[in-house]
Amino acid sequence: MIRQPIPAWLVYTLGVSGVVVVLAIYAALSIRQTQINPDQNIFPGIQAFGEGLSEITKVRGGESNPKPSWLSVDLRETYWRLFLGLSTGVVLSVIIGIAMGSYTVVEALLNPIVTFFAKIPPTAMLAVYMVVFGIHLKMYVAMIALGVFFTMAQAIYQAVKKDVDSDHIDKAYTLGASEFEVIIEVIWNQVLPRVLENLRLQIGPAMVFLIAAEWSFAGEGMGYTIKQQSKLQNMHVVYIYLAILGFSGLFFDWLLVQARRRLCPWFGE
């Protein structure tokens, strides 16, 4: 039956079963492919993954001039770009989204522009960002920030319109709030869970934009290494990078869910 609840043990069992099934399919494909071609690297086995892991975590350069491993450089570059881009995009979208939802002048001025740009895929704008910002950090930050900004600003604007009733605002004034306090104390608190929910949804697209940009232009970063290693058909490295991207995505998602539970316990699940 639709939405019929199931016991907690069954939820966990089904979750674990899904993972086991995927691993089993992979193992079967890997064994089958190895039987056909013992040197295959399309579905590498456990040993190959071990080698891949050691390869990407190995400290480079000589003893006199040690250089960080590929993985540490890529993680640092990619997640720094992601952090800067996302935080810039979120701050901008919160300010603009709340302003659009609160002031009709701002709404009339910006709504058409925001709606227009939200329809353009950020990867299609890559050429523009490259010409304007060059192929340095600024380009990645701009692409992620603007990539999430238009969609998120629209979502926050809608949340302010829908979740913050005019009666709440009038009520706050009768309790002695100034206009700025209404925005900070009422509107911001009311839409905060929506901001966190939208941020959860935007991490995936932000990673897509970033990996695509790194694939095309970077000399370091997860996207760059995936491109280089896939050219060499080193899938044992590529799959590890993909797993890292997946797990880090899960981790950020978990972090944001915890933040929402802690900051907005009233919002429920």
Partner 1 sequence: MNKQIAEGELAVEVKGLSHWFGQQRVLNDINLKITAGQIVALVGPSGCGKSTLLKAILGTHPPSEGEVIVDGEVIEAPSRRVGIVYQHYSLFDFLTAERNVAFGLKLDSTSLPFRMLMLPKWLQLRQQHLERSREYLKRVGLEASAGKYPTELSGGMRQRVAIAQSLILKPKLLLLDEPFGALDEATRESLQMMLLGFYQENLIAKAEGRTPEYTILIVTHELNEAIYVANRVIGLSRFHDQADRGAMVVYDRPCPVFQPDDPKDVEKLVEQREQLRRAVFDPAYVKHHSKYVSFWSELAAQEAAVAGIR
Instruction: Name the site residues for partner 1 (rule: CB under 8 A).
Output: 165, 167-168, 170-178, 180-181, 184-186, 189-190, 192, 264-268
Helices (H) and strands (E) in the chain, counts: 11, 0
18 Cβ contact list (under 8 Å, min separation 6): none
Nearer to partner 1 by C-beta: 9 or 266?
A: 266
Q: How many CB atoms lie within 10 A of CB 126?
A: 18
CB nearer to partner 1: pick between 38 and 176: 176
State in angstroms the smallest separation of the CB of 185 from partner 1: 7
Helical spans, DSSP H, in 43-136? 46-57, 70-102, 104-118, 126-133
98: amino acid identity, one letter: I
**DSSP code per residue over 233-252:** T-HHHHHHHHHHHHHHHHHH
Q: In this complex, which beta carbon is closest to partner 1, that of residue 4 or of residue 174?
A: 174
Closest CB to partner 1 among residues 142, 159: 159
CB of 193 to partner 1, least distance (A): 9
CA distance 99 to 111: 11
Residue 169 CB, nearest distance to partner 1 (Å)?
9
CB of 258 to partner 1, least distance (A): 17
- Characterise 37 by phi-psi region: left (phi > 0), alpha (psi -120 to 50), beta (else): beta
CB of 99: closest distance to partner 1 in angstroms?
18
Q: Closest CB to partner 1 among 58 and 171?
A: 171
Contact in structure between 184 and 111 (CB atoms under 8 Å): no
Of residues 32 and 165, the one with the C-beta less far from partner 1 = 165
Q: Which is nearer to partner 1, 177 or 259 (CB)?
A: 177
In angstroms, give the least distance from the CB of 166 to partner 1.
Answer: 8
Per the CB < 8 A criterion, the answer to whether 48 and 236 are in contact is: yes
Burial of 73 (0-12, 13-18, 19+ CB in 10 A): middle
**Distance of alpha carbon 266 from alpha carbon 228, whole angstroms:** 47
Token representation of residue 37 = 């071609």
